[in-house]
């Protein structure tokens, strides 16, 4: 017989943030977001304008941006990077714009170890199971993929930009293993 029970548990994980103070990078991303929203507007858990899920994954400017961020991520010494160069495997990368009344329904990013978001303003805090995170221009917040999070409806007549990428830490050994495995077909 299988006994079923529900017991509250405490989840552990890494939450971290840092700040990007390069205004030219932030403005370029805003331009890219403005010109690429529309494909998934109001069709997902994001009640606002949205790019496709993978829009930024292969965007050269985004890839260059990640090169700026990797040294910051490496400071947190995730297990996969203890003896190797810090690298990211990006699952998806997308952006959204919320206007007055827009919100993001509660959700997780299961399937990715971490979810990071670059914020362009302080119009709405990030709500999570672990508490509230204040947003501000240039702030990057990273939380575990399992962590439920959401955004309350925007109350002001503004445009709230956010760029999100879901990722897993990898290293040279993992990439080489996967390359060899792919060649065994």
Q: Residues 75-97: pLDDT tens digits?
A: 766 777 777 777 889 999 999 99
User: Does any domain span residue 55?
Assistant: yes
pLDDT at 176 over 90: no
User: Does any domain span residue 40?
Assistant: yes
User: Does any domain span residue 7?
Assistant: no
pLDDT at 8 over 50: no
Strand order in the sheet with 87-98: 16-19, 139-144, 114-119, 160-170, 87-98, 49-50
DSSP state string for 13-45: ---EEEE---HHHHHHHHHHHHHHTTSSTTSSS
- Report residue 13's pLDDT band, with 50, 70 and 90 as the boundaries: low
CA 6 – CA 17 distance, rounded (Å) = 32
Residue for token digits 């979810």?
A: 115
Report the domain count for the chain. Answer: 1
* Structural domain containing residue 68: 16-182
Which stretch of 52-61, 71-80, 105-114, 121-130 has the lowest confidence by average pLDDT?
Answer: 71-80
User: Does any domain span residue 2?
Assistant: no
User: Does any domain span residue 44?
Assistant: yes
User: Does any domain span residue 111?
Assistant: yes
Provide φ and ψ at 67, rounded to 5°.
-60, -30
pLDDT at 30 over 70: yes
- Report residue 156's pLDDT band, with 50, 70 and 90 as the boundaries: very high
- Report residue 9's pLDDT band, with 50, 70 and 90 as the boundaries: very low
**Cα Rg of the chain, angstroms:** 18
User: Does any domain span residue 139?
Assistant: yes
The domain that contains 133 carries what CATH number? 2.60.120.620
User: Does any domain span residue 10?
Assistant: no
């Amino acid at each position: 017989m299988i006994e079923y029970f529900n017991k509250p548990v405490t989840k552990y994980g890494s939450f971290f943030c840092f700040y990007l103070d390069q205004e030219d990078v932030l403005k370029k991303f805003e331009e890219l977001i403005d010109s690429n929203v529309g494909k998934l507007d109001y069709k997902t858990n994001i009640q606002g304008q949205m790019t496709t899920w993978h829009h930024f994954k292969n965007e050269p400017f985004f890839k260059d941006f990640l090169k700026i961020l990797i040294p910051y991520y490496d400071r947190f010494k995730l297990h996969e990077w203890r003896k190797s160069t810090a690298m990211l495997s990006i699952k998806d990368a997308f952006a959204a714009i919320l206007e007055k009344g827009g919100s993001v329904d509660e959700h997780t990013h299961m399937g990715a170890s971490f979810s990071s978001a670059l914020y362009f303003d302080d119009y709405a805090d990030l709500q999570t199971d672990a508490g509230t995170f204040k947003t501000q221009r240039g702030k990057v917040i990273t939380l575990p993929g399992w962590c439920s999070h959401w955004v309350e409806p925007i109350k002001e007549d503004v445009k709230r930009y956010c760029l999100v990428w879901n990722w897993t830490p990898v290293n040279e050994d993992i990439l080489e293993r996967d390359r060899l495995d792919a060649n065994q077909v």
